[in-house]
Amino acid sequence: QQQVKQSPQSLIVQKGGISIINCAYENTAFDYFPWYQQFPGKGPALLIAIRPDVSEKKEGRFTISFNKSAKQFSLHIMDSQPGDSATYFCAASRRETSGSRLTFGEGTQLTVNP
Amino acid sequence: DSGVTQTPKHLITATGQRVTLRCSPRSGDLSVYWYQQSLDQGLQFLIHYYNGEERAKGNILERFSAQQFPDLHSELNLSSLELGDSALYFCASSVGVSSGNTIYFGEGSWLTVV
């Protein structure tokens, strides 16, 4: 119930292409869905996040699409650049009475070729 | 730079030993989280403290303990270390306690148990 499933495990895209990473969850109590970007030797950094009351959120080249009925959400990176090469994690959290925690997907290693 | 400071950055220790990882949250953040990242388990939530109080506990082993001090810095204590405890340990912080607060990660402490 607490798991978040992420795919693909790795992704290779040409510069200028669209990168798409998908996640699925089971727990309908989740109410916050962030995406984190992690470069080697660094900690995860928040990229973009969405709440289930909207179906899409766009920030620059990054877009989250959210399908509440299917319990799925995805990250689209438009005009992918070599600098976008990193590991991407989807995550989910739910409102708890006392604290909070992020449940992460397994991660997707994105490589953007020049 | 996320503003979350972790020390040490790298640590090599022997099995059976005890280590302490230290974290200073971003200025103004009252919540501190600890996460473990390993190749086989991914990013796993360990524990959440808010203003000195434990608020949520995840997959944290009984050999591990944490605390948050009055000045809001936090320590993660790992004892009776095993080879399988080798991992990257992240501290993260946020302003509040609830789901939806942006969580900022430090750069991690690499622990190698030999």
**pLDDT tens, B3-62?**
999 999 999 999 999 999 999 999 999 999 999 999 888 899 999 999 999 999 998 999
Quick check: B59 and B46 in contact, CB under 8 A?
yes
- A113 falls in which pLDDT band (50, 70, 90)? very high
Tens of pLDDT, residue by residue over A43-99, are 999 999 999 899 999 999 999 999 999 999 999 999 999 999 999 999 999 876 667
Report angle CA B100, B104, B107 to the nearest 5 degrees: 155
Q: Which two tokens stand for residue B71?
A: 């000045």
Tens of pLDDT, residue by residue over A3-35, are 899 999 999 999 999 999 999 999 988 989 999
- B98 falls in which pLDDT band (50, 70, 90)? confident
Report d(CA A78, CA B89) in Å as an integer.
32
CA distance A15 to chain B (A): 27
Work out the average pLDDT over A90-109.
86
A105 Cβ contact list (under 8 Å, min separation 6): A4, A5, A6, A23, A89, A90, A91, B42
**Shortest CB distance from A100 goes to which of B35, B56, B90?**
B56
Per CB-CB distance under 8 Å, the chain A contacts of B44 are: 104
Quick check: A4 and A101 in contact, CB under 8 A?
no
Q: Is the peptide bond before A44 cis (omega within 30 degrees of 0)?
A: no
Q: Which two tokens stand for residue A53?
A: 């009351």
Report d(CA B1, CA B21) in Å as an integer.
19
CA distance B18 to chain A (A): 24
**Shortest CB distance from B56 goes to which of A36, A51, A99?**
A99
- Beta strand residue intervals within A1-114, DSSP E: 4-7, 10-14, 19-25, 30-38, 45-50, 56-59, 62-67, 72-77, 86-94, 103-104, 108-113
Task: Determine the 3-state secondary structure of A84 from DSSP.
Answer: helix
Share above pLDDT 90 across residues of chain B, in percent, rounded to a whole number: 86
Predicted pLDDT at A99: 73
Predicted pLDDT at A1: 54
**Shortest CB distance from A99 goes to which of B44, B48, B106?**
B48
CA distance A17 to chain B (A): 28
Among candidate residues B62, B61, B111, the one with its CA nearest the CA of residue B91: B111
- Read off the amino acid at residue A50: I
**Mean pLDDT for chain A?**
93
Tens of pLDDT, residue by residue over B66-92, are 999 999 999 999 999 999 999 999 999
Residues in chain A: 114
Report angle CA A6, A49, A37 to the nearest 5 degrees: 60
Predicted pLDDT at A2: 63
Q: Which one-letter DSSP state was computed for residue B51?
A: T
- Please indicate whether, in this complex, the C-beta atoms of B58 and A93 are within 8 angstroms of each other: no
Tens of pLDDT, residue by residue over B102-112, are 899 999 999 99
What count of other Cβ atoms lies within 10 Å of the Cβ of residue B69? 11
Taking CA–CA distances from B58, the nearest residue in chain A reads A101
Taking CA–CA distances from B107, the nearest residue in chain A reads A43
Taking CA–CA distances from A50, the nearest residue in chain B reads B100
Using the Cβ of A40 and the Cβ atoms of chain B, whether some distance falls under 8 Å is answered with: no
Per CB-CB distance under 8 Å, the chain A contacts of B101 are: 100
